[in-house]
Amino acid sequence: MGRLGTLVGVAGEDFVPRPGTWPTDSGTAELVADGSRPGAYLLAVNGVAQSYVDLVDPATLEFAYIRRLADLVDARFPVAERVAMLHVGGGAGTLARYVATTRPGSPQTVVDVDVELVAGVLARLGDPPFLYQVQDGRQALAEAAPSSVDVVVTDAFVGSSVPSRLTTVEYLGAARRALRPGGVYAVNVADGGELAYLRRILATVVASFTSVLLVAEPAVLRGRRFGNAIVMGSDQELPVAGLVRAAAGDAAAPGRVVVGPDLTTLIGDAMVLTDAEPLVSPIPPSGSWAVR
């Protein structure tokens, strides 16, 4: 699929967000106002919670996995430093809004293949301080200028599934090409039980980068709960100590960082994902991410 264009939202001091539902390329989207927090909204697609944004304070991050991604940015790059980011997926752009608030002027692009979803988000939430690009995420990476971004984040779901073509070693090769020296790749993974899918993702990132770690809630790592895990990779040493402190200090959802021999043990004999042999992501248990 070729580039469909960069969409621009509605700007102006008189703009008022508009909760409601609208049809998208993959089903039905809904923007719900948080009755307990003025200016905050939840985006759901087909009844699955996807993004939570606070327009009054974009540095407020409701979902724990987004806080782990923000921890990565904060631990790797000084607060005063602009960070060039390419977000493959991202819904209402929660992480991009956080970076735009903490590092004003950072060049960021949020790529999403669903033109109706993006158009609806812009119409209902207004013009964000970053660009939305309607395009296939893999093609966007392939067309990105070499060594042009500091961070590539893959947080792309179609319903509750991650497109398999956004997880293979070939896809990560495109991400490496787009990253500057010392740049970081991160992917949001959802798994549970024996973590077979997560282990394959880890094996693939380890095959692509020299420094790799995983951060997730302990219950997910023990297979007791289906949930999110963030896998990070770089060709320079990742900020392990800073990430450990941030994850452990999250009072609402403490996380654990897995690195080194523990990571090798977790991967075990898991095979690298390729275009020739991809893997469909697991289906979450009923109601896991339902809007409440």
- Domains of the chain with CATH codes: 48-267 (3.40.50.150)
Bridge partner residues of 22 (DSSP): 29
Chain-wide mean pLDDT for the chain?
A: 93
What pLDDT shows up at residue 1? 32
Q: What is the residue-wise DSSP string for 235-250?
A: SS---HHHHHHHHHT-
Distances (CA, A) of 18 to 31, 51, 83, 90, 184: 8, 16, 30, 19, 35
Q: Is the dihedral of CA 133, 138, 139, 142 positive or negative?
A: positive
12 exposure class (CB count in 10 Å sphere: 0-12, 13-18, 19+): exposed
Q: Which tokens hold the place of 231?
A: 């896998």
Over residues 168-221, the pLDDT tens digits come to 999 999 999 999 999 999 999 999 999 999 999 999 999 999 999 999 999 999
At residue 246, φ and ψ (nearest 5 deg) are -65, -45
What pLDDT score was predicted for residue 8? 58
Rounded (10°) CA dihedral 82, 87, 90, 93? 20
Return the pLDDT at 288. Answer: 61
Close Cβ partners of 173 (under 8 Å, ≥ 6 residues apart): 208
Residues forming a β-bridge with 81 = none
For residue 3, the model assigns a pLDDT of 41
pLDDT of residue 292: 58
The parts of the chain modelled with pLDDT lower than 50 are 1-4
Residue 80 has a pLDDT of: 81
